[in-house]
Structure 1
Amino acid sequence: MDRMFFYGTLCHRPLLSRVLGRSEAALDLTPARLGDYAVHWAEGESFPLIRAVPGAVVEGLCLEGVDAQARARLDYYEGGYGFGVSEVTVETPGGLRAARVYRPEGSGLRPGVAWNLADWQARWGEVTTLAAEEVMLGFPGRDPAVNARRYRMILARAAARIRARAMSPATLRRPTRPGDIEEFARSQPYANFFAVEEYDFRHRRFDGEWSPPVNRAAFFTSDAATVLPYDPARDAVLLIEQFRVGPYGRGDSECWSLEAIAGLVDPGETPEATVRREAVEEAGVTVGRLHPVYGYYPSPGAKTEFIYSYVGEADLHDGVGGLGGLAAEGEDIRAHVVGFDRAMDLVETGEIGNAPLILSLLWLARNRERLRASG
């Protein structure tokens, strides 16, 4: 059996528990120190890296009794980032011990500021632990490089799960209680930028009895946020236009879509921050006061996506509009500034067929005079 030395995120017991598929109580961990090494944040990432620094000391933990199955799960979780395993000697309460440690080998990662576990736990601990569940769904068959390539989306979906825990009203609908859903199996048959998860479960029926076992699949994206810029003084809105694969895949006669500005909510980001960032990236517009429209599932029977929509006050002067988008993300976007009445005409004719934009315009129709009076 091996002894593994952890210096970074795997010192977080809940995360290590998820990776190994063991309870925290079953983890045999001892404090340890590794000399002549230092740990830094990987620049631009949410995890650390270790490098040789004479005279430095790294505080960490040793996992004792690492059998073949545990080593395989750890290798899988760490795989895809260019990390290899090295032999080191660590100092433990019982004396010097041989151990193995994961180190970057040609990963291209660059060291940033000094690593601090408490700082990481405060910002990333919970979301990274949830993300590990999705990573380990691919064990052992999926190439770990796939997890590394899509890890930012995995983190974003984990962050969405945390936001989803917030209490929402259940005054008319049936409230969900502990024990109402019994899951038998979960798998992830497809994973790329998006993912598909499949579940076998049963749930409580309205009559109090159990449903028969059912199999269902859900298409996974992260949460998204949209903003409709509105200029109360000019009574005008800004719409963006871009090619969309959804209409193309459906065989629609028109594949360019009129929409509100939108983007995926990045891990560690609020929906409000998302729409402010996307407004600049997609249309070169700075939005001021944000008005929440609705939060909603566009297709709860098949998709996990939850959308936060806003109307944002903005100065839509004559120079606003034209071409935009991030070339690095393959975006080709055209922005239009149109009067409110013109936008509503486009809804009526069906030229606007995008649900978040329609909802935002309908909200604006109800609140427009209030915004204009206070503008």
Structure 2
Amino acid sequence: MDRLFFYGTLCHVPLLARVLGRPEAGLPLTPARLADHAVLWAEGESFPLIQPEPGAVATGLCLEDVGAEARARLDYYEGGYGYSLSDVTVETPEGLRAARVYLPPSAAPLAGAAWCLADWQARWGEIVTLAAEEVMLGFPGRDPQVNARRYRMILARAAARIRARAPSPATLRRATRPGDIEEFARSQPYANFFAVEEYDFRHRRFDGAWSPPVNRAAFFSADAATVLPYDPARDAVLLIEQFRVGPYGRGDSEFWSIEAIAGLIDPGETPETTVRREAVEEAGIEVGRLHPVYGYYPSPGAKTEFIYSFVGEADLPEDAGGLGGLAAEGEDIRAHVVPFARAMDLVETGEIGNAPLILTLLWLARNRERLRASG
């Protein structure tokens, strides 16, 4: 049996329980301190680093009596980033005790400010705990380095699950109640930048009886947000154009797509923050007042993606178009400033075939005079 010392995120007991696949109650945890070590934020990340520092003290928890199964699960969770166990001596209420601790590799990210568990819990605790559920779906067969490569997307999907908990109206549709779904099995047969999850379950029918057992799969991506920049004074919109793999994979005659500015919602972001960031990255413009359009599932029978769409007021002179996008993300984007009437013509001819943009233009058609009058 091992005694493991945790100094960072695994001191958050709900996360530790999720990784271990055990209930929180009854985990054999003991307060502990590791002398001559400091715990610091990893710059730009959602986790800390530990490093030697004479006179400093790293506070944390010891998990006692760690058996083979628990050790395997913890090795898997930590292994994607190259963390490995080292022997240390920690101070516990019962005195000095031998323990082991996961230490980062020599090529770890740069260390930043002093780590504070309470600050991390407030911003990241719930997201990272939910993300651990997806990470551990790959245990034990998936290479843990796959999780490390995908971790930003895993966090983004966890944040989407938290947003999805917000109450939603059910005045016409059937309201979901506890116990409406009985899940028998869940797996993740494919995981890369995107992921596919498969479920075996049954659900309540409209007549109150149980459905027969069914098998369904869902394509997982993070939530996304779109914005259509609109200049009320010039009655013009900014559209972007880029190559899209969807039309290419379908065999469409045209691979380049006319769209609204869009991006995946990063963990810790709001949809509004996302569209403001993306407007700068994709088109080099600042958007002012944002007008929510709708939030919606583009294809709920197969995809978990939820999209938040906005119209954003902006100054759009004719030369506001041009080339943009982040080279680091392989983006090659061209922006077009066109009159609103021209955009609607492109919808009618089918040259605009992008659902969020069509939806947003139709919303703007209904609200355009109001925006022009108030501008």
Normalized against structure 1, the TM-score is what?
Answer: 0.99
Partner of 1:28: 28
Q: Does 1:129 align with 2:147?
A: no
Confirm or deny: 8 A CA contact 1:81 1:107 kept in the other structure.
Answer: no
Task: Specify the alignment match of 1:189 in structure 2.
Answer: 189
Q: What is the CA distance between 1:10 and its match in structure 2? A: 0.2
Aligned length: 375
Give the corresponding residue for 1:364. 364
Matched with 2:301 is 301
Q: Distance in 2 between matches of 1:157 and 1:309?
A: 18
**Does the aligned pair in 2 maintain the 1:48–1:115 contact within 8 Å?**
yes
Cα distance in 2, alignment partners of residues 107 and 209 from structure 1: 57
Is residue 249 from structure 1 mapped to residue 249 from structure 2 by the alignment?
yes
Identity among equivalent positions (%) equals 86
Which residue pairs with 1:52 in the alignment? 52
> 2: distance between equivalents of 1:105 and 1:303?
37
Instruction: State the Cα deviation string for residues 256-294 of structure 1 (Å, max 9, x = none).
Output: 000000000000000000000000000011000000000
Q: Residues 299-336 of structure 1, C-alpha deviation per residue, up to 9 Å, x if partnerless? A: 00000000000000000013200100000000000000
Amino acid corresponding to residue 186 of structure 2 in structure 1? R
Q: 2: CA distance between counterparts of 1:256 and 1:156?
A: 27
Per the alignment, in what secondary structure is the counterpart of residue 217 of structure 1?
strand
Tell me the secondary structure at the aligned position of residue 25 of structure 2: helix
Q: Does 1:230 align with 2:233?
A: no
CA contact 1:241–1:257 (8 Å) conserved in 2: yes
| Matched residue SS, 1:145 | helix
Corresponding position of 1:272? 272
CA distance in 2, matches of 1:33, 1:171: 54
Do 1:82 and 1:107's aligned partners in 2 also have CA atoms closer than 8 Å? no
Q: Cα deviation per residue 1:204-229 (whole Å; 9 max; x = unaligned)?
A: 00000000000000000000000000
* Superposed displacement of residue 371, structure 1: 0.3
Cα deviation 1:161-188 (Å, max 9, x = unaligned):
0000000100000000000001111000
Corresponding residue for 2:199? 199
Counterpart residue number, 1:239: 239
The residue that corresponds to 1:316 in the other structure is 316
Question: For each residue in 1:231-261, what CA deviation from the matched residue of structure 2 results, as whole angstroms up to 9, or x when unmatched?
Answer: 0000000000000000000000000000000
Other structure's SS at 1:331 match: coil
2:15 match: secondary structure:
helix
Q: Secondary structure at the match of 2:319?
A: coil
Aligned to 2:291: 291
Contact in 2 for aligned 1:14/1:129 (Cα 8 Å): yes
1:42 shift after superposition = 0.7
Q: Confirm whether residue 160 of structure 1 aligns to residue 169 of structure 2.
A: no
Instruction: Tell me if structure 2 keeps the 8 A contact 1:155–1:267.
Output: yes
- SS at the partner of 1:328? helix
**1:85-112, Cα deviation, whole Å (9 max, x unpaired):** 1000001111111000011122331111
Look up the match of 1:260: 260
| Structure 1 gap segments, 5+ residues each | none
Q: Which residue in 1 is equivalent to 2:16? A: 16
Give the superposition deviation at 1:55: 1.0
Matched, 1:88 2:96: no
- CA–CA separation in structure 1 for the residues paired with 2:49 and 2:26: 27
The one-letter code of the counterpart of 1:84 is: S
Counterpart code for 2:309: S
Distance 1:182 1:343 in 2: 47
Give distance in 2, aligned partners of 1:365 and 1:285: 23
Q: What is residue 97 of structure 1 aligned with on the other side? A: 97
Residue matched to 1:174: 174
What are the within-5 Å matches in structure 2 for residues 211-230 of structure 1?
211-230=211-230
- Is residue 222–residue 264 contact of structure 1 (8 Å, CA) maintained in 2? yes
My pick for the range that moved more, 106-115 or 1-10, is 106-115
Residue identity opposite 1:270 in structure 2: T
Distance in 1 (alpha carbons) for counterparts of 2:274 and 2:165: 20
Q: Counterpart of 1:106 in 2: which secondary structure? A: coil
Stretches (4+) displaced over 6 A: none
Q: Which moved more, 1:73-82 or 1:124-133?
A: 73-82
- The one-letter code sitting in structure 1 at the alignment partner of 2:106 is G
Alignment of 1:134-149 (within 5 A): 134-149=134-149
Amino acid corresponding to residue 9 of structure 1 in structure 2: T
Tell me the residue number matched to 2:65. Answer: 65
Q: Who is 1:79 aligned against?
A: 79
Q: Distance in 2 between matches of 1:108 and 1:163?
A: 31
**Alignment deviations for residues 101-144 of structure 1 (CA, whole Å, 9 cap, x no partner):** 01112233111100000000000000000000000000000001
SS in 1 for 2:17: helix
SS in 1 for 2:65: strand
CA distance in 1: counterparts of 2:80 and 2:25, whole angstroms: 29
Q: Distance in 1 between matches of 2:104 and 2:323?
A: 41
Letter in 2 for 1:284: G
SS at match of 2:266: coil
**Alignment of 1:7 onto 2:7:** yes
Take 1:43 and 1:323, find their aligned partners in 2: how far apart are those partners?
A: 31
8 Å CA contact 1:229, 1:313 repeated in 2 = yes
Q: Distance in 1 between matches of 2:256 and 2:77?
A: 40
